[in-house]
Structure formats: C-alpha cells, structure tokens
Amino acid sequence: MKTTLSLCAGLLALSLGTANAASGGDSYNLVQKGRYLATLGDCTACHTQPGKPLFAGGVSIDTPFGKLVGANITPDPETGIGGWSFEDFQNVMSKGHAPGDKRLYGAMPYTAYTKVSREDNQAIWAYLQTVQPVHNPVETNLLPFPFNLRSSLIAWNLLNFEEGEFKPDAKKSEQWNRGAYLVQGLGHCGTCHTPKSLTGGDKNDAFLAGADLQGWVAPNITADPHAGIGAWSVEEIVQYLKTGANRFDIASGPMAEAVEHSTQHWKDEDLMAVAVYLKDDPRTDWPKPVEPLAADSPAMVAGKAIYADRCSACHVGSGEGIAHLFPKLAKAPLVNAADTASLIRVVLAGSRAGGTEAAPTAPAMPSFAWNLSDENIADVLTYVRNSWGNSASPVSSAEVTDLRDSLNER
Amino acid sequence: MTDKSKGFTRRQILVSSAASLAVGAAASAKAATVAGTPGWIPFDHNGPMHYDTPGWQFFTAEEAREVEAIVERLIPADDLSVSGKDAGCAVFIDRQLAGEYGTFARLYREGPFTPGTPAQADQSPLVPQERYRIGLAALGKYCQAQFQKPFSGLEGEQRDKVLTDLEKGAITLEGIDAQFFFQQVLGNTMEGFFADPIYGGNRDMVSWKMIGFPGARYDYRDYIALHNQKLDLVPLSIIGSSAWNKKG
C-alpha cells in the first residue's frame, strides 16, 4: 500500500514537472524527444559519475590547461539548474553564457552545441526538468591561474567561437544535412577528433583530422583513405557506432564510453546520416603518406620478431586481426596516426574494448608493461606502423618511457 | 510409439526432476553472476612474481647447497648441456616450493591418508615443503653417519651411489620413504630443466636449444605452408627472445 501511494505521488510529481516544462503541446512526446537528444549529446559523459545519480555532476575532465568538473544539471534549485529558465539554458547551449554573466569553458562543447536548433533545445530542457533533483554542490573550475579567470574567455570566444544554429546546405540531401547537424552539433565529434590550437580552440580547417586527448588519441575520422576512415563503407561506420566494432576496429578508451553511453542508442537512420556525411568530404587533397621504413632496418627486424611472438596470436601475422574481436592493424587510421599515444598506451597498460547490447563481449588486450622493455615496445610499434600497407613515423623508446612514467603517476 | 511421444513417463519425470533439483542446488551453492562488462584493471598481469628475485625463497643456504649437489648429479654437465645446477633447477624448485605448490594450497588435503596402490598415486600426508625439509635433513644425517660429510661433500661417484640407493630403496631415511623422496626430487628437477625460464630453471632455454624445441609459441599458422624448409626458429620464453634485441 505504501509503495503504491508513493508511486502515485511520484507519478503526480513527474506529470506536474513535465506539464510545467512544456509550454502546452504534447509534453510526453517532448520529454521523450529530449531524452533521446540528451543521449545523442552524451550529456552523461561529463555530468554523471559512474554509479551516481543521473546528471548530478562531479565528473573530472582533464584538459591541457588543468582540471574542470562537470556541473550538476539536475533541477535542484541550489546546486543544480533548478532556478534557470529555458532562455538561460538556450544561452548556455548557443553562447556558452550561464546565468550571472558566467562564461563557460570550451570543455562544455557550446562551440558545437551552438548549432543545435532552438526547438531541439526546448525538448532537452523539457527532459531535464523530469530528472530527479539531486543536492550535490560541484566546484566546476579547478583550473590554475590565470586560466581560472573566466574573463579570459571573452578573448577566447573571439578567437575560437562562432555562434549560430546549423544552416542546412540546400545542395545536399536531407540525410546529409541531418548527418552534418548531428556531427557538428549535438554529437560534438569535433570536441575530441578535431585538432586544437594553442588556446585549445578547434582548428576547423582540420575538422575531424584527429587530436591528442590526454594520453589517448582521438583518431582522424575524415575521409582521408590513409590516415582517416576513407576505406570504411557507410554500413561499416554505422556498425562501428552501433556495436563498438566492425571489421577494422574496436572502440576502446574514451570512444568505448561514447559508444556505450551514446552511439549504440542512436537510431539507425541517424547513424546512417552521420556515415553519409562523414564519407562525403569536400577535401580531396589529403596529405601524401610518408614512405614506409625499409623492412631490413634494425628496428623493423626486431619489431617483426616481437610482433610474431607477442602480437600475432590475436592480431594475425598479416595484421588483419579477427573481425569484431581483435582489431585489424593493417591500414588502420589509429595505427597510421602521427600521434602514437593510444598505440603505446594499449601495449603498456592493455585495454578493454566497449561492450554494447549488440556486441557484449568487450574483448580485452593484456598489459605488456611487465614483459616488454620501452625499446621492445618502440620497435614493435615501428614495425606495425610500417607493415601491410601502413606507413608512419617510427616510435622512439623515449616516447614509451614518457608515457609509462605519466601513466604510472596517475 | 505414439503413447511415448505424448508425454513423459513416470520414470522420466522422476529422473528429470531429480536432475533439475541437483542442478538447482549446485547453482545456488556457488553461483556468481556477472552482469555487463567484466572487471578490468590497467597494467594487470598475473606472471610469476619472483623468478628474478635474488636469494633463496624457501630453502636455507644449507638446504640449497644440498639440492644443488643433487641436481648436479641427476643432470650432469656433458657435451649435450650444462648441469642441472647450472641450468637453475635448484632455483626453480625453490620458487616452486615458495609458491602454492609448496603447500599444495590448491589440492584437497583432508584425510584419511592411507598407503594406496601405485595406480592411486601420491597418498602422502606431507606437502612438498615438508618432503624437502624432512628428506634433506634425513639425507644429511645418513651421509654424516656413513661418510662423516654432508651429501654435497661427497665425490661425484659417491653421490651417484647414494642417489642410486635412494632410488632403489636400499637406504632408509628418517621420517620419509627414500624412494618417494628420490622421485619427488627427480620429478621437480626435470620440471625445472624443461619448464619456461620465467620460473627460474632452464636458464637461457638451455634444454630447449638442446632438443630443438622452439618455445612457448601460440601457434604455427604462418609456417603451415612452408614445406621441407628448415625454420631455425629462435626459442621463445615467456620472458622474451634473443631475436627481440636490435642488431646494429
């Protein structure tokens, strides 16, 4: 009886909340739409700690400038956004301005969210009103001086921010435009995958060309056939985002989280739109790949022996891997990336791939830090980066030493 | 025929419900449910921890000296290989005894302990650590009584005679059966000589090079098509391979 009563009370509160949020119209559908849009935007990545209440904040975000913490975005009036109006929320999404003339840092990807339509923001706002309010004070700004001064963001915005909703390209299909809207806007793919300038802004002429991500690399996802995902078909891109794995690759590290929390829940037609957009890249003058190292150079010879003895069991002697289980290394964008952080990292520390509803196995790579020296790791990666159609700069043992030290400090 | 296919017989029902009861009981006694992605820790590995740790982990210095004197005669240095001592067999046995094997930590160890037939294998109440501690002390006592020297103080031929007598049961040891002790040491010595060097023996893969074993390899998919060719594979240990070193 008690349960039933409180359940009724809860439902009542819920319906009151949604009724308030939606200014007329079908509030249920609006909230459901907002819930889906919040999943597209992966709000949870920065605003929900694992095992803690939804959107109560507290997720620590490492940036090259210091540490920021995801805010409490539950409707709690004191510590969340319970005191905000829709216009306040719209300003955050489109301008990076929070109430009280507070400028947000780019870690909150308003540089991408500015593309989100006002209509979609209304749905997200309606959904956020239905979330359980949680009293959880969060100090979001843990940056060191002078970056902790929010006034510096006025100048930052002048350099790095262009406000404005997404404008469809009339020359392209509706599907392409939907993909562009999602990639550039809520999906905020560029937040990780676009290289950053010295001030941490997106280098938009190199949109999605891969970037360093604090000990990981967000690989190049342009249509570049050598360094990007030009060799992937539309269906293979969809499969990767839906299941975390395709015949080329398996998501691990931060992308595993993005797939688990977000992209596996996207509608197929949205994933298809994203893939169509990513494949249709106006840039064609892709940089020429470097010449691969000679197979008889000392590092290549040693690396080949290490690969045969330690890697080939799973990744196969030809670097082809096993589809959906062990990533393919031949012609893989990450393997050919200029930045080697992710490669070195998975060999040192091992890695756990993402598990999705469609592909729940989540295969893991073992750690080799105890068994391979820095020079061994440098040589085997140099071999992998210059075999089977791959060509990329050699890896030095100093790079491995540096990453080993920094990972051990964490 | 048609009668049977209509449903269960009484016997079938009895048998199947007994079986499902048994399954149910077993499942509830020790069931672990894994939901979502199994746990995973960066930098995790479960390799042996002390193969390269200096010093003896179980033996006293005196015991170690005696074990080395034994394995040196069980596998003597000849034109095929170095001795069991130089191959690290005593180190292997020491690490083995310091680990779970030494106390049979993973075996059922409740009694009763009664002598069985040879086909029933090891029925001893002693765990390997005790076998060595008691056996080495008893062997020392025997050698002192017979030769006024420890085993390690004997000449090569004298040592071989003592070992042969142990093997034949011509010697009585205090607290442990002589043949049983001999077989224990012989077995562990062979394990040490042929096991992966990561466990302390088979130093530099000496036994593998001797017999042409290419080492701990995952598979030979890449070699299947290479018919009638000498592969000359460099032996590979869990620790690594000399082929990994850069030349030039």
Choose among A348, A350, A376: nearest Cβ to B244: A376
CB contact under 8 A, A362 and B38: yes
Cα(B157)–Cα(B215) distance, integer angstroms = 34
CB contact under 8 A, A349 and B42: yes
pLDDT of residue A159: 83
Tracing tokens 């269906």 back to the chain, one arrives at: A235
Cβ contacts of A316 on chain B, cutoff 8 Å: 221
Residue B8's identity, in one-letter code, is: F
pLDDT of residue B29: 52
Shared domain for A53 and A131, answered yes or no, is: yes
Cα→Cα distances B23→B11, B19, B20, B78, Å: 18, 6, 5, 58
Question: Looking at the 3D structure of chain A, how many domains does it have?
Answer: 3
The answer to whether A47 is annotated as binding is yes
Shared domain for A129 and A213, answered yes or no, is: no
Residue A342 lies in a domain: yes
Low-confidence ranges of chain A (pLDDT < 50): 1-22, 24
B1-59 pLDDT per residue, tens: 333 344 444 444 444 444 444 444 444 456 776 666 677 888 888 777 556 778 999 99
Do B192 and B74 touch, CB atoms closer than 8 A? no
Q: Dihedral of the CA atoms A85, A86, A92, A95 (nearest 10)?
A: -120
Burial class (CB in 10 A: 0-12, 13-18, 19+), A171: exposed
For B245, name the nearest residue in chain A, comparing CA atoms only. Answer: A302
Cα→Cα distances A138→A47, A144, A361, Å: 11, 17, 35
Taking alpha carbons only, the member of B177, B203, B239 closest to residue B75 is B203
Task: Give the gap in angstroms from C-alpha A79 to the nearest C-alpha of chain B.
Answer: 32
Residue A391 lies in a domain: yes
Task: Give the gap in angstroms from C-alpha A315 to the nearest C-alpha of chain B.
Answer: 12
Q: Which two tokens stand for residue A172?
A: 């392209």
Cβ contacts of B245 on chain A, cutoff 8 Å: 302
Asked if the bond preceding A219 is cis, omega within 30° of 0, the reply is no
Do A348 and A377 touch, CB atoms closer than 8 A? yes
**3-class secondary structure, A364:** strand
**Count of other CB atoms within 10 angstroms of residue A92:** 22
CB contact under 8 A, A305 and B244: yes
A347 φ/ψ angles, rounded to the nearest 5 degrees: -70, -40
For A319, name the nearest residue in chain B, comparing CA atoms only. Answer: B222
pLDDT of residue B50: 59
For B215, name the nearest residue in chain A, comparing CA atoms only. Answer: A309
B63-84 pLDDT per residue, tens: 999 999 999 999 999 999 999 9
User: Does the complex come out with an ipTM higher than 0.90?
Assistant: no
Q: Of A138, A154, A189, which marks where a domain is finished?
A: A138
Q: Of A92, A120, A138, which marks where a domain is finished?
A: A138
Do A72 and A83 touch, CB atoms closer than 8 A? no
Backbone angle region of B61, left / alpha / beta, with phi > 0 → left and psi within -120 to 50 → alpha: alpha
Task: Give the gap in angstroms from C-alpha B237 to the nearest C-alpha of chain A.
Answer: 9
Residue A354 lies in a domain: yes
Do A119 and A83 touch, CB atoms closer than 8 A? no
Shared domain for A271 and A319, answered yes or no, is: no
C-alpha A48: how far from chain center: 15
pLDDT of residue A1: 36
Residue A2 lies in a domain: no
pLDDT at B203 over 70: yes
CB contact under 8 A, B244 and A301: no
Cα(A390)–Cα(A182) distance, integer angstroms = 31
Shared domain for A128 and A183, answered yes or no, is: no
User: Helix, strand, coil shares of chain A as percentages rounded to 5?
Assistant: 45, 5, 50
CATH of the domain at A37: 1.10.760
Residue A8 lies in a domain: no
Shared domain for A302 and A373, answered yes or no, is: yes
CATH of the domain at A391: 1.10.760.10
Taking alpha carbons only, the member of A45, A39, A38 closest to residue A253 is A45
CB contact under 8 A, B40 and A364: yes
Shared domain for A132 and A21, answered yes or no, is: yes
**Count of other CB atoms within 10 angstroms of residue A396:** 16
pLDDT of residue A287: 86
Residue A260 lies in a domain: yes
Parallel, antiparallel, or unpaired: how do β-strands A364-365 and A351-352 relate? antiparallel
pLDDT of residue B111: 81
B108-141 pLDDT per residue, tens: 888 888 888 889 888 899 999 999 999 999 999 9
Rg (CA), chain A: 23
Residue A26 lies in a domain: yes
Range of the domain at A310: 298-409
Q: Of A230, A248, A279, which marks where a domain is finished?
A: A279
Half-sphere exposure of A301 (CA within 13 A, CB side): 9
CB contact under 8 A, A317 and B221: yes
